[in-house]
Amino acid sequence: MKLQKILRRLQKLHPKEIDLSLIRVQNLCKKLGNPQNFTKCISVVGTNGKYSTIQSMRAILKEANIKCNIYTSPHIQKINERFVYNDQEISDEDLAKLLVEVEEINNGEPITYFEILTAAYFYFAKNFEDNINIIESGLFHRFDATNIINKNLASIITSIGLDHLDWLPKNEQTLEKIIFEKTSKLLNSNIIVAKQSSEKTLNLIKKNISNNKSNKIIFNEKYSYSINENGFIYYEDEFGSLKLPQPNVLGSFQIENISTAIATIRKLNLNVNDEKIKNGITKIQSIARFQEIKKGKLKDLCKNNKIYIDGSHNPLAAKVLSEYLENLNCKKHIILGMMANKDHEKYISYFKNISSLTTIDIPNQPNAIKGEDLKKKLNKFHKAQFKNSITEAITSCPVSENDIILITGSLYLAGEVLNLN
């Protein structure tokens, strides 16, 4: 309870949830001794795949006994997930103590919630100066609070698409603008560009980083992967080829994220041998990314069917997820809850062959679209039903044996599902 009280207090330090600027966080970090300048960082920007790429790197580095710290957002179940040091989430006690100290040093100056969390992350990271820090950018990158480091080991650009458009002026809600915001201020080191959804997207990224002096490691130019008809995975880059085992995360799209992680680690010459890479990708910890719920009270509601949760919430993620679902030889039932500022119609348009669609409210999220309203918006795509709760939605799905249930549309919904289970 003490930690929650502190977090509520920090959320009131600025009238806006997001106010894109670096001045406030730079001023606070200066008071903290600029801890971000004493860290070894890998920066991760993009729209989709950031979390999974980070977790893939984390698993490989852990297997190689290379210590790392990780900063991600948002969290799924508890805020401690955002603060990982030496491969361990920070404890409630340590996080509370850290946030109080940083709050006192801030001395009441206006600062957003994400900015003060970011400053606190770097402040605590100074206790682990030899560790590699893997930093996920929050919103865009150019004016994101994570963009305060003055040097890094590498920048990773994962798949980029349309999302968070409501934070841009109406006349700037374009792919070109999003790519500019995410890639125009990357540091000079190494830039790893993951597989993109289109040639147009890739070319726009190349244009934006053309004047950057970094080494550029671009998918299908400097590294690649292939999956043959027998399901074998082959990875290749300038350092040679690897035959990879099946990773422990579901979805062929995860191979994209894993290959980007491998390309980064091999380029940085971290002395991670092939066996460590192969073993590492079978031990990836991934939450709410096509994650099967194998036990718990929600699983008890549908014992004869598999139930999955996925935090996808934008059209590009929907496209990738739907393509994977198409390859599954079973009927699919979707339970959907989304935030109000998302492109609901474009998201659901990718799911062509589903047997049922159930909309729900996202509990404890005032900025979510009401399930009843979501149902009305999506009825032209699928005949949807609305249910009042997650449990009611699950039990109402008209499933037969071997059908699957997928709960998706929001990371916030995924967190509520996991907490409920």
d(CA 406, CA 335): 6
Q: What is the pLDDT of residue 139?
A: 78
DSSP string over 65-129: T--EEEE-SS-SS-GGGGEEETTEEPPHHHHHHHHHHHHHHHTT----HHHHHHHHHHHHHGGGT
Residues 336 and 234 in one domain: no
The CA dihedral of 154, 159, 162, 167, to the nearest 10 degrees, is -20
Please indicate, yes or no, whether residues 141 and 72 belong to a single structural domain of this protein. yes
The CA distance from 406 to 311, in Å, is: 10
CATH number, domain containing residue 304:
3.90.190.20
Q: CATH number of the domain that 26 lies in? A: 3.40.1190.10
Same domain, 253 and 354: no
Residues 103-119 as b/e (b if ≥16 CB within 10 A, e otherwise) read beebeeeebbbbbbbbb
Q: For the chain, what percentages of helix, strand and coil (3-state, to nearest 5) are there?
A: 40, 20, 45
Residues 203, 162 within the same domain: yes
Residue 53 covered by a domain: yes
Same domain, 179 and 81: yes
**H-run or E-run covering 226:** strand 223-227
Q: Rounded CA gap, 152 and 142, in Å?
A: 15
Which residues are paired to 363 by β-bridges?
none
Closest CA to 255 of 230, 284, 275: 284
- Number of structural domains (the chain) is 2
40 in the same domain as 153: yes
Range of the structural domain that residue 110 is part of: 2-280
Identify whether residues 171 and 43 lie together within a single domain. Answer: yes
Q: Max CA-CA distance within the chain?
A: 61
Q: Which of 280, 314, 339 is the last residue of a domain?
A: 280
Together in a domain, 268 and 329: no
Give the pLDDT of the chain (421 residues) as one tens digit per residue. 699 999 999 998 887 777 778 999 999 999 999 999 989 999 999 998 999 999 999 999 999 999 999 999 999 999 999 999 999 999 999 999 999 999 999 999 999 999 999 999 999 999 999 999 999 998 778 889 999 999 999 999 999 987 666 666 777 778 888 899 899 999 989 999 999 989 999 999 999 999 999 999 999 999 999 988 777 899 999 999 999 999 999 888 899 999 999 999 999 999 999 999 999 999 999 899 999 999 999 999 998 999 999 999 999 899 999 999 998 999 999 999 999 989 999 999 999 889 999 999 999 999 999 999 999 999 887 889 999 999 999 999 999 989 999 999 999 999 999 999 8
Can you tell me the distance from the alpha carbon of 359 to that of 334, in angstroms, rounded to the nearest whole number?
Answer: 8
Q: Are residues 236 and 97 in the same domain?
A: yes
Q: What are phi and psi of 322, to 5 degrees?
A: -65, -35
Residue 285 counted as domain residue: no
CA-CA-CA-CA dihedral for 25, 27, 29, 34, to nearest 10: 130
